[in-house]
């Protein structure tokens, strides 16, 4: 039986400047395995395992329509082809529809840190039913960047992601530098900030969690 992965960033940030982990404590029914990319899909049309990698010359945007408005992310497939191909496939099959942002995190000094979502269970412990392979982290952690959440175990990324709220987040994130960078918000950062401003409890969970209504994948404008 697989034990849930440990949450190393949670321990690190409690001892330093951040009060919570970005890592998704994935409690799916399988451990990380040596799965090969596949075109297999579930009955809902979503991938059943790591999707095939997209053409790295392609450039796509994802529009996240939420209950507080829409924000648009420009994906960096050249930098993170595996992770970007994965979130593109999930967004294209409506996997994220009705999924909440379950975590809003601030640093101990009150600086906004991240919002996190992408877990269909809304608990922070769910995912798509498979893991994707790790790849080198390319790019900088800064305000507006979107990255994959994960555990400390290799190949533990699934569907959860976070959006960075402040450049100061680079300090704790760079200490690990294991979170694949998917891209950057190119419009609607005010919507992200509105989500971050919602009331939350002591576990960084919003009292009234905002929801992703739909996601739309389109080719990036020239």
Encode pLDDT of 64-89 as tens digits. 999 999 999 999 999 999 999 999 99
- Is residue 123 pLDDT above 70, yes or no? yes
Q: pLDDT tens digit string along 99-115? A: 999 999 999 999 999 99
* Confidence class for position 22, pLDDT limits 50, 70, 90: low
Could you give the C-alpha distances from 92 to 14, 142, 151, in angstroms and in order? 36, 26, 25
Check residue 208 and give its pLDDT. Answer: 98
* Per-residue pLDDT at 41: 66
The most distant pair of C-alpha atoms in the chain lies apart, rounded to whole Å, by 49
pLDDT at residue 138 in the model: 97
The domain 8-33+59-219: what is its CATH number? 2.40.100.10
pLDDT, averaged across the chain: 86
As a whole number of angstroms, the distance between CA 32 and CA 81 comes to: 19
Residue with the two structure tokens 């906004």: 112
Query: pLDDT tens-digit profile of 147-179?
Result: 999 998 999 999 999 999 999 999 999 999 999
The CA distance from 28 to 22, in Å, is 17
Sequence-distant (≥ 6) Cβ neighbours of residue 28 within 8 angstroms: 126, 127, 129, 130, 131, 158
- The confidence score (pLDDT) of residue 43 equals 62
Res. 32 pLDDT band, cuts 50 70 90 = very low
SS3 of the chain: helix, strand, coil, percent, to 5: 15, 25, 55
Domain residue spans of the chain: 8-33+59-219
The pTM score is: 0.85
- Given this model, what pLDDT does residue 64 score? 99
């Amino acid at each position: 039986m697989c034990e849930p992965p440990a949450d190393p960033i949670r321990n690190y940030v409690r001892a330093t400047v951040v009060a919570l982990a970005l890592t998704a404590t994935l409690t799916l029914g399988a451990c990380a395995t040596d799965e090969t990319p596949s075109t297999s899909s579930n009955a809902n049309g979503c991938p059943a395992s790591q999707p095939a990698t997209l053409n790295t010359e392609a450039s796509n945007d994802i529009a996240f329509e939420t209950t507080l408005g829409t924000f648009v992310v420009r994906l960096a497939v050249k930098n993170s082809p595996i992770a970007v191909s994965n979130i593109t496939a999930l967004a294209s099959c409506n996997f994220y529809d009705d999924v909440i942002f379950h975590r809003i995190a601030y640093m101990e000094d009150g600086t906004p840190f991240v919002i996190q979502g992408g877990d269909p269970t809304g608990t922070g412990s769910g995912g798509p039913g498979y893991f994707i392979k790790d790849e080198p982290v390319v790019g900088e952690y800064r305000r507006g960047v979107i990255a994959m959440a994960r555990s400390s175990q290799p190949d533990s990324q699934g569907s959860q992601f976070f959006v960075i709220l402040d450049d100061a987040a680079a300090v704790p994130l760079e200490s690990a530098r294991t979170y694949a960078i998917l891209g950057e918000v190119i419009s609607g950062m005010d919507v992200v900030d509105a989500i971050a401003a919602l009331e939350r409890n002591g576990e960084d969970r919003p009292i009234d969690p905002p929801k992703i209504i739909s996601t739309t994948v389109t080719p990036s404008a020239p």
